[in-house]
Amino acid sequence: MFGWFCGFACAYSFLNNHAEYRVNKTYFDKLNMLKILFISFYKKRVREFYDAPNKYSLTSYGGYLDLMDYKGQLLQINKQILQESTPAQT
């Protein structure tokens, strides 16, 4: 997995939306690496990742969300991921 991501929801969406990771059987390896990265950032174990809103829902792509609404939804998703996570065992 490569790229610049604004949060874990965006990275998780990228992982889910790229079928080549499922075809070449690296999906779960990359998902586990994402979980390890989450632990190193927050010292918490993620219970579940959630997908970010689709970028094509932005009005600039012909969708129905302006940038502020999109960012608001994304912030809520990232907060939910963090709130539902549990302390990591050391």
State in Å, rounded, how far the first CA of the chain is from the last one.
27
What pLDDT was estimated at residue 65? 96
The verdict on residue 60 lying in a domain is: yes
Residue 1 in domain = no
Number of domains in the chain: 1
This prediction's pTM: 0.85
Give the residue with greater pLDDT, 69 vs 18. 69
The amino acid occupying position 12 is Y
CA distances to 4, 45, 81 from 42, rounded to whole Å, are 19, 8, 11
- Quote the domain boundaries for residue 68: 8-87
Per residue in 15-60, pLDDT tens? 988 867 777 778 888 999 999 999 999 999 999 999 999 999 999 9
